[in-house]
Each structure stands twice: as structure tokens, then as C-alpha cells.
Amino acid sequence: MKHDTSPASAVGERAYHHDERLDALLSITGRMDGYLYRCRNDASYTMLYISDGILTVSGYRPSDFIHNAVRDYVSAIHPDDLPSVYAAVDAALEARCNWNVDYRIVPRVGEPLWVREIGGGVWDGAGELEFLEGFVVDISDRKVVEDLNSQLLLDLKIANEELSAQKREIELAKQQSDHSANHDALTDLPNRRAFHDELKSVVARCGVTGEAAGLLFIDLDRFKEVNDTLGHEAGDTLLQRVSSQLRSILRSADFVARLGGDEFAFLFSGDADLAQHKAVRVAERILERLRIKVPTPTGAIQVGCTVGVAMYPAEAADSEALIALADRLMYIGKKSGRNRLVTAREMAPQQPSSRPRHSIRKTA
């Protein structure tokens, strides 16, 4: 903190040249709940002048502070606030601007009260600091309101943060609920409900765009044998492994779901001319990926799968017909030896039914 070291008498002599400005300030501030001052820039802020308002605010006479006759002004500032006062004044003088600082005055009688000081430095023609001057107003009542407002704003901020946290928790809970409602708990694949919603959406879109949709119904072979031999925990582990393999085949636009038990569905859409070829290719990859050996105490169980492949709109008019056809083809594959894919084009025409019969092609 830099302070003026000029003798008080010299500063006082220079101060007389500013009497007209002082009189004007006195006239303005005489009606304020506060006081006007002019002081040196020293450690005790030695007062050259302080108006009568200091008596109302602090209970001390103005003459007590002039040239530190009885006490210096710093002694009336609450010690906890003094560092902030020094810092505000020094920073303003450095920047050649006014300071505006709140602090507490310790009165002769009673509790400390809040004041607001606005002041500035006065420089001579040579740019040398002559003295400090400003005014101080009692803001005790205003401070109560400001503190109350600040507390209310803080309470409001905390309440908003709590509401935001609650909103995030609700949104997260809803997401978790929606996820649980549409996903299988064991494999975390979309469940039957989500599958039906997706299938209807894909078929509706293809009806507009002219694309084709392929539906693969997948049923594991010898899954019951794994459950009966090793228990349901081993069966659950197998289902999770199967789910992981099916995910590895997915493209971003494809969809795979667990329909229940050891049944899964694979859904895709694309160019109508290429859809049948892709369906067979995907089914062959599924057959290959789901050939899984499960060790048992009496030898390995060779798990596989059977896949029924149905196409929209070439082979089914809507989503329900597509499901029925894919399920029927998968069932035919099961009855015909398992570990194979079956398409409508390969079913034998001799089958007694209102539908044409097709052949079944074994892939392994």
C-alpha cells in the first residue's frame, strides 16, 4: 500500500484551493444519511475534513478524527473489513478511478453498522496525488434487504439445482423404465414388445420407400439339453453368448431381439433386388456364429440354430403375415433336422396346403 508522506500542513495548504468544490459537495451531501470526508493517503487515513454526519453514524465527534486528534479513522472501521478497504482504495488509485466499497463502522455505542464509501484520489497539475475525498452513507437497512435478497437468490439457486437434480433423476428413471419395458433383462436385447413395434415401423417405411424387409426367426438347437444337463445358469450364460454373437453381425440399421426362451429375431431392410440375397447371407453367418460347443462332464453338446427367412412384400403382405411365415419356416427347419436355414423359395410345392409347397435346403 503506497501512502502520501507529505507533511499534514503542506497537504492542508493545498486543500484550501478546493474550498468551492468542498462547499458544493457539502451542500449536496448535507441531506444524506452519511458524511463527507477529505483525508491523506496514509495508513490511518488522517482526516483533513469530515462532516457532521459522522456523529450520527458513529457517535464520535468530527473533531475527534481531524489530524487524528483523539482517534484515527481506521480505528472506527471493523478490523475484519479493513483489508478490503485498503485493497479497494489502492486498486482504484492505481487505475486512477473511484472506489466503491462496503464495510462496517464500529460506533461508540451499539452494534457495528454497514456503510458504503464512494471516493477517489485528487491529483495536482503535475499528476501528484494530493489527498483522498469521498462520501460515506449508512446502508444498514439497505444491507439487510440486500442480504435478504442475496439469501433468497441463494435459496432459489439451491432450489433450482435440487429441482434440476430431481428432474434428471426422473428422466433417468423414465429412461431406465422405458429400457426395462423394451429390453430383455438377461441379454439386454430388445424384447418381443420392442420387436413388434420395430417391425411395424420398418414394414410401414418400406411400404412408402419401395424397399424390402427381411425377417429371420432363429431358434437354438439342443438348448434344452444344455439346461437339463448343466442347469439354468449354464443356459443363461449360453443365451448371453448367443446374444453377443448376434450383435456382432448387426449393421447400424439392423435390429435383433430376443423373443423369449431360446428364440430370437433378426430384422433388416434395404434394396428390394438385393434383400433376398442379403437375407440368406445373414442367415448363413448366424448359422456359423451360433455353432457353439458347450462342455459337459460326459462330453460336449454341439449347440446350433435353425433359421426361418421371410421377405416383405414379396412373400408377405404385412407384418403379421411376415411373422407367421418366418415362424412357419423356422418350424419346418426344426422338423427337418435342425441346423439349417429355410426360405419360402426352397419349400417343396408338394406340401398339402393352400399355400404352394417349397423345398428345404440344408446348409450344414
Q: Which residues are catalytically annotated?
A: 262
d(CA 222, CA 262): 10
d(CA 353, CA 172): 52
C-alpha cell at 264: 430370437
Q: What is Dmax (Cα atoms) for the chain? A: 127
The dihedral of CA 173, 174, 176, 177: what is its sign? positive
Assess contact for 103 and 115: CB atoms under 8 A.
yes
C-alpha cell at 22: 468542498
Tell me the C-alpha to C-alpha distance, in Å, between residue 298 and each of 58, 230, 295.
99, 11, 8
Assess contact for 267 and 275: CB atoms under 8 A.
no
The DSSP string of 330-364 is HHHHHHTTSSSEEEGGGSBTTSSSSSPPB------
The DSSP string of 92-133 is HHHHTS-EEEEEEE--SSSS-EEEEEEEEEEE-TTS-EEEEE
Q: Give SS3 for 254.
A: coil
**Helices assigned H by DSSP within 135-252:** 140-182, 192-209, 223-230, 232-249
C-alpha cell at 8: 499534514
